[in-house]
Structure 1
């Protein structure tokens, strides 16, 4: 299978296909073009160099075994739901390509991050169905996002070689690459506290969520009590961030600083402020992830960057090493977040931003 064949199936040039497959940061003319290319590559079982040709011809004496790898997205219904996970997926797709492996399937199944739904559903049947979709060609699985504990055990039993890439630890259930959400949230809230904020809100998932625990721990460390009115449980989408800021503006008691569990929620909040300007209430907003769009908001979003490139690369290294029998014990690789100070946070005694619109 050649790049030319993928280009023909996707309706783009071979040069565009090569750039997309090899560079996760390459910007296509539109997200739809990139999605078409990867769908074509998956459908055609594409691998670089001669690996696919050797498989097709039945040649077994290749230098390295070609592995079939699936990716399970547990926090997204589709590719456009959360840019952070989409950007992380781009890195992993390119790494699979570089490792001369075959990406067999990308599943978008938020069921696996919902404990209540996992208790109601027949997980064995769902997981068996996933495996059948790949014609039983799946040597390993990468799970991106939080996963129900029971579901994780069943996935590990089925696929044998599993790596989790996440902000929430699996507690050594499977190999994992972790950027600890609790530490990330503490870093963000500590920054707001350093600016003099004492009334600090939280917007995001609260149930069994490391970032929410980090928010509470940071407040406790500084002898600050969390206010129920400042905490908003959301599904972490732009639309729900927009609604959350609307609720804050309608409330009489409002926080001066807000930590959003992810960037896209914070962007929704900034968009609401941009269209409903209120000079008497301009909170400092900080988030975590550092998606591409965070640099282009007005004001530019202060956030804690997660090292997506390294997370994706280490996930592939761990998975391939396990599939090759290189290690048997469960391995955790933990990476640090980095505070990106921009314009959406100001000192508590200042009047807020001079401009807030997207």
Structure 2
């Protein structure tokens, strides 16, 4: 009977009515504020997809209506007089609602950040695998911290839970250490950026273009056409030559001319080479010198800089220099050196080789017949 009297108590129903009306008003105000702020930020970021107002608008748009209603109800429950037990429960509920909403905002921000990097026009500057891994790790940390904080706030002892998670994590890490080494190598590639998709690299016996940087492997399209798959950890242990990052090429080449060339023409050859390189587009002359005396030639060394990283353009430039060098040496009446061997017989006659069916001529001009060499047939 007393219970029914409490339910029929006018003060109780008055408090209920106050809470309901206050919750509705507070919810309407909060909803209007969030909607107005979202629209204003959207208007400021019109035509600017990557701007911070657009980012904030997307994060605020993730505000949960259920949590707004919970906030409104919690605020309204502060108006009437409540027992101490209710006040304690409300304080815990406040923290739970706030933690959930903050986690939702951070989740939305991280997802928007990773999506903007992957879909941006300059997406080639970012490793999509690294971006995805970092976003997943951040989300795991955010939601884990949120859940542990809620449990701790509700009075649950999370020490044993954290210790169990730590031991389990160590066991899993030992079981998949090879995979984890490749995953961390992928993160290292994404952060340090020794190479990116589209770069031409050379390491060991492999030369090709980076096609894909994955979670465990990197795929390279080699010059011969096949795809080379290399583990990320193994790839970082090697010396990698990245030719895409090369702005210029320093070219050194040599050629030789005949020993019979006069010294004045040797000087003219060096000057002609310099003029040829200077007149070639995308080539900067460095030096051309008569280097030294080799076994069968007078050797020149030429150094110039190619003002492009493209290998095909470098070959075009070298070909043009070679062709003009041929013409210049013909104009100077200078010959390229050819390998030559001089054989001299001292005190002996030249051997006579007899070929079957051919008349033989014997040179009897040498009076030393006793030293004449035998004939070969």
TM-score, normalized by length of structure 2? 0.22
TM-score when normalising by structure 1: 0.22
Larger radius of gyration: 2
- RCO comparison, higher one (Cα < 8 Å, 6+): 1
More helix by share: 2
